């Protein structure tokens, strides 16, 4: 199974991954549409650990996958090439059950298109990985 | 859809006296003739602010502006501009900050915000997805910048805010605006203008994207740009040390100010170098939005009296002014001082500059404990530095005397203290002694903002030319100032020099907008228009000056020992490069070349004579 792995100690919170993700998938720079999410916590204290400051959240491409299991249309399937989970746009009806079910809050509902969006590993060469200036993201096959 | 791609096409105008907001379009002419950010500010301020307007009165406006590239993944595109008529100098001023606010303003649907008038009680402005509202800020008034930001973040999830602290409310003349946990548009007293308007904060939120004309070619351009940054040899050191790498460089060259720009050597200054800063304070490298070079350092004081202090920094200028300039060699004290400045909402440069001045007055017996409210304001006294900042932040006791900067304080104190009030047009010097870096002296003298280093820093260029020679310095200053007009108008960080140059920046601008820009002409137009704003306010050559110490007191030691700044010679050679006359006023030929012909008429109606 291939998935994105993030290193929160190295991440410096630039959000270039969010920008490039939305640009690649939606054709515009718009972090609210990104399928990767960086959480920034600068209100730190003496007990804050280095991995709690800039925290990347990525799709875990779970196996078994709660999103695929709950989908009433069987619209979320494992891609044979990337081994990631893909949304079949023509079968998804945008009911949003998977959005609720995802334990990592990594699926977005696109109300306009009546579909959901999630990380598709860019078809095998994720742009967030290649653009990350800190090498805080990698694609791992385990 | 905006008339030019990259722009939202909309500027929000809020009038706090009338309690109204309205949206005005960004015209194609404005976009192509002034780009954005600082360029827009120069045009709007000249057109909108009546000469002689009180900077702290209802007739002054605050301009918060982005440019066409902000909100995209262009590297280093995190910045925005705050511009206004400065209460510190009476001139045009512009200051920039990074973080995430700039992009979020675009995603809220606006290229910029203009705030007019004056509220009768505390308010904040909220912009969300193309609409705007003036809201009550009674519950925020009195809060620190940090608490204000945290409160607003909880009130409106996903929002970003620009705030002022208690010092802005009290109209300390070098109060700043803050965003993103300690990023600041620091110089010129922008925060005091917000405070005078009773505007506590501006909150932005939204989900509107920024697109470009050609996805494929733009992606390729981004790949090239990021590769250029990644392969730049200077990046690793810059990431590791942040801006603090300049502490060591400038200390060795005798440039960093020591004890109010005395030019002396400071025993123990090495304790402020990057290695110690990293070891004692740094917890995490942090980036601004869309920036591949995390020069920001999230710091925590771990031990000693200031343990638990959290801040972004301290950065080079802050270490130079609150550290060496006050004779302080403890990085944890500087961190605490910096944090306090951030919380109260004051500029660390101006604060360190004026406290250094007050310390010299105290050591000379010009100020006594009676004047300072008992503060033992000697150089190198860590406690005194902290107490003085508290006093300024609250504008109480000696803080009230110092709350207008060194030059104003010197006019009150008298006794020739003006000779060592280290400022131009009332704006305090940054962390470069111009006697040891003479081009910076010309920057201080001719910057439209008063002595602001960030209008065209010269250290890199002057190392090549020789630090104390006047040779080629006017040309360097002219070139840097023009280049910074481009940076400040896109709006992009000056650290984009790690991989980009003006030609690649222009290529990016044209790829985002799909338009051709006459960059050389535009940057010179912006700089001369800013000059006209100041000319109209009565500023001229005699104000393009440096304090007595810089001109007449030879450096006592260091590599540039014996030097003073020969400023008049620099000005004589600089003005002609700009096509300004020998009094520093743009000529008719200059204004015609820059398509500023309407201004010729405007100035002559005001009785200002222009040379041909």
Residues of B in contact with A24 (CB under 8 A): 219
Q: What average pLDDT does the structure give for chain A?
A: 95
**pLDDT tens per residue across span B508-566:** 999 999 999 999 999 999 999 999 999 999 999 999 999 999 999 999 999 999 999 99
CA atoms within 13 A on the CB side of B87: 28
CATH 3.60.9.10 fits B10-205, yes or no: yes
B157 has a pLDDT exceeding 90: no
Residue A12 touches chain B, beta carbons under 8 Å:
yes
In which band, very low, low, confident or very high, does the pLDDT at B280 lie, cut at 50, 70 and 90? very high
CB contact under 8 A, A44 and B290: no
| B272: helix, strand or coil | helix
B353 has a pLDDT exceeding 60: yes
Compute the average pLDDT of residues B56-67. 98
Residue A7 touches chain B, beta carbons under 8 Å:
no
**What is the structure's pLDDT at B579?**
98
Residues of A in contact with B73 (CB under 8 A): 16, 19-20, 23, 29, 131
Residue B479 neighbours by CB under 8 Å, 6+ apart:
none
Domains of chain B, by residue range, sit at 10-205, 232-421
A47 has a pLDDT exceeding 90: no
**What is the structure's pLDDT at A43?**
82
In which band, very low, low, confident or very high, does the pLDDT at A141 lie, cut at 50, 70 and 90? confident
User: What backbone phi and psi angles, to 5 degrees, belong to B96?
Assistant: -125, 155
User: What backbone phi and psi angles, to 5 degrees, belong to B196?
Assistant: -60, -30
**What is the structure's pLDDT at A1?**
65
The distance of B296 to chain A (nearest Cα, Å) reads: 9
Q: What architecture (CATH level 2) is domain B232-421?
A: Orthogonal Bundle (1.10)
Sign (positive or negative) of CA dihedral A41, A46, A49, A50: positive
CB contact under 8 A, B293 and A43: no
Taking an 8 Å Cβ-Cβ cutoff, which residues of chain B contact chain A?
A: 71-73, 75, 100, 107, 150, 158, 180-182, 207-211, 215, 219, 222, 226, 229-230, 283-294, 296, 298, 300, 302, 307-308, 310, 312
Alpha carbons B551 and B433: distance in angstroms, whole number: 11
B2 has a pLDDT exceeding 90: no
**What is the structure's pLDDT at A79?**
94
Domains contained in chain A, CATH given: 2-141 (3.30.70.20)
Task: Tell me the pairing of strands B199-205 and B123-128.
Answer: parallel
CB contact under 8 A, A30 and B209: yes
Compute the average pLDDT of residues B416-438. 98
Residue A20's closest chain B neighbor by CA?
Answer: B73
CB contact under 8 A, A30 and B208: yes
**pLDDT tens per residue across span B193-232:** 999 999 999 999 999 999 999 999 999 999 999 999 999 9
B1 has a pLDDT exceeding 60: no
Residue A50 touches chain B, beta carbons under 8 Å:
yes
Compute the average pLDDT of residues B337-356. 98
Mutation target vs B (from A9, A12, A135; most B CBs, 10 A cutoff): A12
């Amino acid at each position: 199974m291939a998935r994105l792995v993030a290193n929160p100690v190295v991440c410096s919170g630039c959000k270039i991954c969010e920008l490039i993700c939305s640009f690649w998938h939606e054709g515009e720079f718009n972090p609210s549409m990104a399928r990767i999410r960086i959480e920034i916590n600068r209100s730190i204290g003496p007990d804050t650990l280095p991995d709690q400051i800039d925290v990347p959240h990525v799709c875990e491409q779970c196996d078994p996958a709660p999103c695929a299991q709950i989908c009433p249309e069987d619209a979320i399937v494992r891609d044979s090439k990337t081994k990631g989970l893909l949304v079949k746009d023509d079968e998804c009806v945008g009911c949003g059950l998977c959005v609720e079910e995802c334990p990592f809050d990594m699926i977005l509902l696109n109300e306009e298109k009546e579909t959901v969006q999630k990380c598709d590993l860019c078809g095998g060469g994720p742009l967030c990985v290649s653009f990350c200036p800190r090498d805080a993201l990698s694609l791992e096959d385990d | 859809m905006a008339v030019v791609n990259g722009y939202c096409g909309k500027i929000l105008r809020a009038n706090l006296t009338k309690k109204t907001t309205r949206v005005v379009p960004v015209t194609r002419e404005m976009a192509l003739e002034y780009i954005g950010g600082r360029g827009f500010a120069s045009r709007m301020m000249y057109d909108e602010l009546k000469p002689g307007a009180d900077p702290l009165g209802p007739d002054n406006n605050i301009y918060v502006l982005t440019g066409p590239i902000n909100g995209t993944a262009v590297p280093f595109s995190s910045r925005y501009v705050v511009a206004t008529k400065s209460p510190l100098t009476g001139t045009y001023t512009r200051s920039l900050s990074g973080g995430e606010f700039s992009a979020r303003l675009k995603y809220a649907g606006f290229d910029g915000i203009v705030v007019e008038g004056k509220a009768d009680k505390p308010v904040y402005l909220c912009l969300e997805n193309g609409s705007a509202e003036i809201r009550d800020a009674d519950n925020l008034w009195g809060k620190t910048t940090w608490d204000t930001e945290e409160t607003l973040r909880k009130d409106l999830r996903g929002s970003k805010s620009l705030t002022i602290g208690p010092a802005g409310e009290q109209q300390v003349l070098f109060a700043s605006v803050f965003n993103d946990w300690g990023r600041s548009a620091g110089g010129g007293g922008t925060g005091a203008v917000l405070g005078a308007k009773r505007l506590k904060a501006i909150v932005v939120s939204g989900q509107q994207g920024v697109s470009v004309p050609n996805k494929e070619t733009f992606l390729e351009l981004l790949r090239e740009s990021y590769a250029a940054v990644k392969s730049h040899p200077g990046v690793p050191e810059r990431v590791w040390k942040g801006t603090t790498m300049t502490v060591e460089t400038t200390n060795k060259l005798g440039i960093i100010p020591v004890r109010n720009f005395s030019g002396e050597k400071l025993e123990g200054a090495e304790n402020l170098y990057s290695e110690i800063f990293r070891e004692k304070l740094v917890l995490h490298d942090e980036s601004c939005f869309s920036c591949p070079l995390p020069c920001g350092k999230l710091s925590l004081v771990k031990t000693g009296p200031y343990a638990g202090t959290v801040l972004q920094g301290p950065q080079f200028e802050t270490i130079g002014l609150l550290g060496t300039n006050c004779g302080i060699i403890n990085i944890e004290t500087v961190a605490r001082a910096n944090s306090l400045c951030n919380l109260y909402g004051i500029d660390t440069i101006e604060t360190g500059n004026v406290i250094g001045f007050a310390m010299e007055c105290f050591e000379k017996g010009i100020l006594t404990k009676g004047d300072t409210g008992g503060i033992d304001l000697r150089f190198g006294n860590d406690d005194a530095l902290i107490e003085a900042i508290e006093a300024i932040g609250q504008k109480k006791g000696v803080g009230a005397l110092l709350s207008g900067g060194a030059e104003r304080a010197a006019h009150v104190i008298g006794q020739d203290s003006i000779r060592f009030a280290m400022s131009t047009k009332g704006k305090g010097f940054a962390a470069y002694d111009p006697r040891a870096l003479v081009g910076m002296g010309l920057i201080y003298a001719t910057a439209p903002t008063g002595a602001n280093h960030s209008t065209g820093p010269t250290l890199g260029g002057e190392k090549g030319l020789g630090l104390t020679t006047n040779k080629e310095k006017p040309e360097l200053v002219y070139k840097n100032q023009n280049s910074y007009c481009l940076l400040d108008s896109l709006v992009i960080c000056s650290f984009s020099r790690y991989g980009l140059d003006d030609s690649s920046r222009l290529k990016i601008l044209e790829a985002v907008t799909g338009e051709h820009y006459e960059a050389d002409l535009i940057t010179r137009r912006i700089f001369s228009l800013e000059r006209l704003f100041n000319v109209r306010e009565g500023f001229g050559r005699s104000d393009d000056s440096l304090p007595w110490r810089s001109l007449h007191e030879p450096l006592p030691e260091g590599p540039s020992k014996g030097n003073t700044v020969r400023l008049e010679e620099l000005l004589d050679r600089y003005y002609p490069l700009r096509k300004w006359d020998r009094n520093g006023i743009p000529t008719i030929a200059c204004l015609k070349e820059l398509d500023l012909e309407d201004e010729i008429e405007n100035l002559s109606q005001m009785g200002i004579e222009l040379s041909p």
